[in-house]
Structure 1
């Protein structure tokens, strides 16, 4: 079994952190892997500034809560939907499910839940048993500046190494090492050539917020606090970097309300993008490198008996693609973004 941890970089792209081969996906394997991950990352505060997203694997849930007790742990909304959808297949319920999970404010979330309840109260009851605070945007912590509620980033890494996964374990690990080693250099080189302050993908999203801000009316309450009127009224606090809609709080880059305030003050919305999305932050993450590894003929010879680990082969041909839910559209990945463990 190959265990992986994949994070998001400052340009919201895949950044493989760690991978390891273990005998199986059980409590002992996850405990060892997560403990080694914490040691390598030099985490000493119990993970207070970290967020994990997983697919409700029980062994992983237990281990993270013990080893990283202060980390936020989100459940993948796509996996929750796949299980919930087996019983409740109505298309209108599907739309309301994703509307509720993607709602940034509690008011919008509760409205979606009420609309769902009017169609099928049993569907709402089943959904609320999943602990909405683990996969609904309106309840997520804002410290990591990430609004992701699905772990598609882990699936992206799975596709990145799909050819390597079919090889012998040693060659598989070597192929993964070379792919990640080369990716670090390629991404660093590409970003170094760009004359930007904000990473391109974030800048693109910021431009969308700017384009939506023209409808907003701004009323100053003080030098730092403003009331912004669009379809409804929100409060923007520049000093505390917060907006009532919670998009700026959770994502780390300005929503349309903040862009409107920036225009009112004759300032640039880019000034209000969190430093985690700056080019300098990106370059710092990619300044590390993985050393090359010579072929076996150059290795130091040792005389130590070594037995291979026990192998437990599953029946049938090995699978290359993840198992999809029977009701999941194979051609559509949705509009959700991802990171994951």
Structure 2
């Protein structure tokens, strides 16, 4: 009946409805009427009366096209594209049926389809122990830590935290990346909220290299301490000597760092895994430098043409450019501008001096940016795993964590730090223009 109403473009309403009979009439009080009741000989509900003549006009809004009907009708579309845009769904309804559907209805339809195809939130949390067990089966030396909370009402076992660090990523970072780690946390926009903590490095091409990540109940000193303790074990960081960590002033992270890594440098910043694709970066190239580093080196080489230098002996130079002066020491691989020491790539002042001694600037680039180190970072692969139909089932019932509502009115925009606020004000933006 719904399909007929939607295809014909007319609304109807129920006049009578019970287990054995149903009667529907047109919402606009025109003669259209349909009556069906139980037929014992057919063992089914059979149409007994149908007046298929409408005297009212076609409606662009159809109440029968609710989110449940849309979800079932476009199930195959979502099976092929789980992220089918809501705007495309609205246009398809208008093109195919000639009716207008609201954006909220389409969002609810997409959420319903995802539950139909992927299962509910309860189903996903119930599968977590089986998922972790399968990960451990195919990644024997990796670290997967599932922390459950048993001290809950009704003795329910609830999810609390999950930490993941693949052995291939940890070894790749230690063998092919600098001792530099960025720590960050972000909110999870799911029904149960929570936060995602992550640790990333920089590979030889100056791109992010994932090391470890964790889902926790919130960002505080206890959760960061738990995350960093596991990270220290996986990477073998003893005391933090020679290591540099950068973060964005996360809650509780500073205290956790001071307690666990007192000798490490800690700095604050102001502002689908691609492992296989990154591994093939040098497949069609014989260059010994990573592409991004080659680009920076060539850019600095062009700038070095404007430098004027004086040789002071012992591979030390005084370099002048645009009225400014710098001291370069090629043996120590230092320049007073500090660009070379901070980035490991010769600055324009240093390149001018390297050309003066008739050498190649590529020989003075840090080894962490070269082909061998990059390939060492990505030489290991993350083993594939079975889908959930092959996982071992767990006898216990696990439920998702309790949702803790924060006091006060929910904030619609994120907090902006002082540096970003200064930049936005300088550009003429107000508090209402703060990005979400």
- Asked if Structure 1 and Structure 2 have the same fold, meaning a TM-score greater than 0.5 normalized by the shorter chain, the answer is yes
Cα drift, residue 28 of structure 1 = 0.9
User: Deviations 1:159-187 (Å, cap 9, x if unpaired)?
Assistant: xxxxxxxxxxxxxxxxxxxx22xx10111
Residue 329 to residue 292, structure 1, CA distance change in 2 (3 Å): farther
1:214 is aligned to 305
- The structure richer in helix per residue is 1
**Secondary structure, aligned partner of 2:381:** coil
Quick one: distance in 2 between partners of 1:316 and 1:186? 44
Residue 10 to residue 66, structure 1, CA distance change in 2 (3 Å): same
Given candidates 266, 269, 276, the residue that maps to 1:73 is 266
**Secondary structure, aligned partner of 2:319:** strand
Cα contact 1:235–1:243 (8 A) shared by 2: yes
**Secondary structure, aligned partner of 2:403:** coil
Cα contact 1:192–1:283 (8 A) shared by 2: no
Cα drift, residue 20 of structure 1 = 0.7
Higher relative contact order (CA 8 A, sep 6+): 1
Q: Greater Rg, structure 1 or structure 2?
A: 2
User: Deviations 1:27-79 (Å, cap 9, x if unpaired)?
Assistant: 111100011111111212x222222221212400111121121111111224x
**Secondary structure, aligned partner of 2:200:** strand
The CA RMSD over aligned residues, in Å, is 2.6
Q: Which blocks of at least 5 consecutive residues in structure 1 are unaligned?
A: 79-178, 333-341
1:309 is aligned to 401
Given candidates 233, 240, 255, the residue that maps to 2:347 is 255
2:332 is aligned to 240
Alignment of 1:186-335 (within 5 A): 186-230=277-321, 231-313=323-405, 327=421
Cα contact 2:328–2:336 (8 A) shared by 1: yes
Following TM superposition, the consecutive aligned residue runs of length 4 or more in structure 1 with deviations greater than 4 angstroms are: 313-319, 321-330
1:16 is aligned to 210
Cα contact 1:2–1:21 (8 A) shared by 2: yes
2:59 is aligned to none
Quick one: distance in 2 between partners of 1:306 and 1:10? 42
Quick one: distance in 2 between partners of 1:192 and 1:316? 54
Residue 284 to residue 23, structure 1, CA distance change in 2 (3 Å): same
Quick one: distance in 1 between partners of 2:405 and 2:202? 33
**Secondary structure, aligned partner of 1:192:** coil
Is 27-36 or 215-224 further displaced after alignment? 215-224
Given candidates 228, 236, 243, the residue that maps to 1:34 is 228
Is 53-62 or 297-306 further displaced after alignment? 297-306
Quick one: distance in 1 between partners of 2:275 and 2:203? 11
Instruction: Report how many residues are paired.
Output: 227
User: Deviations 1:205-226 (Å, cap 9, x if unpaired)?
Assistant: 1111111111222322224222
Cα drift, residue 323 of structure 1 = 5.4
Q: Which blocks of at least 5 consecutive residues in structure 2 are unaligned?
A: 1-194, 428-436
**Secondary structure, aligned partner of 2:376:** helix
Cα drift, residue 307 of structure 1 = 4.6
Cα contact 1:53–1:76 (8 A) shared by 2: yes
2:116 is aligned to none
**Secondary structure, aligned partner of 2:294:** helix
Quick one: distance in 1 between partners of 2:362 and 2:338? 18
Cα drift, residue 283 of structure 1 = 1.3
User: Deviations 1:262-281 (Å, cap 9, x if unpaired)?
Assistant: 11011111111111111211
1:3 is aligned to 197
Cα contact 2:245–2:266 (8 A) shared by 1: yes
Is 227-236 or 64-73 further displaced after alignment? 227-236
- The structure richer in strand per residue is 2
Quick one: distance in 2 between partners of 1:309 and 1:19? 19
User: Deviations 1:72-127 (Å, cap 9, x if unpaired)?
Assistant: 1111224xxxxxxxxxxxxxxxxxxxxxxxxxxxxxxxxxxxxxxxxxxxxxxxxx
